[in-house]
Amino acid sequence: AELGKGSFKYAWVLDKLKAERERGITIDIALWKFETPKYYVTVIDAPGHRDFIKNMITGTSQADCAILIIAAGTGEFEAGISKDGQTREHALLAYTLGVKQLIVAINKMDTANWAEARYLEIIKETSNFIKKVGFNPKTVAFVPISGFNGDNMLSPSTNCPWYKGWEKETKAGKSTCKTLLETIDSIEPPKRPTDKPLRLPLQDVYKIGGIGTVLVGRIETGVLKPGMV
């Protein structure tokens, strides 16, 4: 693992800043893209550390769906959902910023020996606090994963035969899947008022050599097409 931070092994790939790699924490937001069978997905990797909550808000405000990644390890989960825990704060910020779709990925299940009891305990506790925040737990998918080993990321894991998949119920109806990839494909596209004037809140402005000034943001209303002046 880079710089001796084992748990930071894959986050290191997304974190480009020298300070991020040295401190072993995400500081700024990072944008990464991939394609699922259904969507073109832009991942906004937002920092979880309390010192960089402003950057986390910037990233979250751009999202259509939040993926709340919870560590299943003993002590880690409990610290995150404590009164001053970051997990609780991030769920509240996401809802407050208008992100109404939520996926809960219960990570590091391998460190909990894929115990069904631990999975159910986390679901119960997490459901309680996201309900207080404003989310309806019935509309939230809970997926047990191991990001380090790839379990339940792209294909169903053989390490949790007790896991039959999740089921959520929204206005669009019921849906059920097993993997995180399938869960991302279950996200309902937001309906934005395309008949209204163009409104595009800016996230940042970049100056790129040979191209010029590039504005980055999310279209909230209206339409933007190539060639528009």
Q: By residue range, what is the domain housing residue 200?
A: 192-229
167 and 86, same domain (yes or no): yes
CA 140 to chain centroid, in Å, comes to 13
**Does 191 or 146 have the greater pLDDT score?**
146
The predicted model scores a pTM of 0.77
170 and 203, same domain (yes or no): no
12 and 99, same domain (yes or no): yes
Condensed to tens digits (0 to 9), the pLDDT of residues 14-60 reads 444 444 444 444 434 566 788 999 999 988 776 554 554 566 666 67
Task: Indicate the number of domains in the chain.
Answer: 2
Q: 121-147 burial, b if ≥16 CB within 10 A, otherwise e?
A: ebbeebbebbeebebebeebbbbbbbb
Task: Return the pLDDT at 8.
Answer: 42
90 and 124, same domain (yes or no): yes
Return the CATH number at 130. Answer: 3.40.50.300
Percent of the chain with pLDDT over 70: 80
159 and 82, same domain (yes or no): yes
pLDDT at 140 over 90: yes
Structure tokens at 210: 């040979």
The secondary structure element, H or E, covering residue 80 is helix 76-80
Condensed to tens digits (0 to 9), the pLDDT of residues 2-18 reads 444 444 444 434 444 44
CA angle at 114 for the pair 88 and 95, rounded to the nearest 5°: 20
